[in-house]
């Protein structure tokens, strides 16, 4: 089993397509890359944490008053999303991306 993992690891290390894909995915180490990570991963969670009750009330009001069934359903889904609170998966991904960007050369 160890040899199988070593073989897979050497394939990954020597694959130029994978290296290029990782290079393209990685955010740049500048102010825009860091602000992009913060704005995309942390800011929505902060807004949800601070204004969760107001967002739930707003979504509930629209889920009751919208004329179209599809819009009511979408606002109900939004209400459930805000009820679930902060996404720790999103915060974890943002933290890992920040560590990856800040610790790289």
> Using CA atoms, how far apart are residues 71 and 80, in angstroms rounded to an integer?
14
Give residue 104's pLDDT: 79
- Better-scored residue on pLDDT, 95 or 18: 95
Q: How many CB atoms lie within 10 A of CB 94?
A: 20
Give residue 11's pLDDT: 80
Q: What is the mean pLDDT of residues 35-64?
A: 95
Would 36 be classed as within a structural domain?
yes
93: domain range? 27-103
Average pLDDT taken over every residue of the chain: 90
Give residue 42's pLDDT: 95
Give residue 1's pLDDT: 79
**DSSP assignments along 23-92, one per residue:** HHHSPPSSHHHHHHHIIIIIHHHHHHHHSHHHHHHHHHHHHHH-SSHHHHHHHHHHHHHHHT---HHHHH
Would 56 be classed as within a structural domain?
yes
Q: What is the mean pLDDT of residues 21-47?
A: 90
Smallest CA-to-CA distance from 102 within 44, 39, 33 is with 33
Would 33 be classed as within a structural domain?
yes
Would 70 be classed as within a structural domain?
yes
Would 11 be classed as within a structural domain?
no
Would 1 be classed as within a structural domain?
no
Classify burial at 16, counting beta carbons within 10 Å of its beta carbon; exposed 0-12, middle 13-18, buried 19 or more.
exposed
Would 9 be classed as within a structural domain?
no
Q: What percent of the chain has pLDDT over 90?
A: 63
Would 45 be classed as within a structural domain?
yes
Number of domains in the chain: 1
């Amino acid at each position: 089993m160890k040899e199988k993992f070593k073989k897979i690891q050497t394939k990954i290390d020597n694959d130029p397509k994978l290296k290029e894909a990782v290079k393209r995915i990685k955010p740049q180490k500048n102010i825009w890359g860091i602000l992009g990570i913060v704005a995309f991963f942390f800011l929505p969670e902060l807004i949800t944490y601070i204004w969760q009750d107001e967002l739930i009330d707003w979504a509930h009001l629209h889920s009751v008053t919208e004329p179209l069934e599809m819009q009511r359903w979408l606002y109900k889904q939004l209400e459930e999303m805000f009820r679930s609170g902060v996404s720790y998966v999103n915060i974890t991904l943002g933290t890992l991306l920040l560590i990856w960007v800040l610790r790289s050369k």
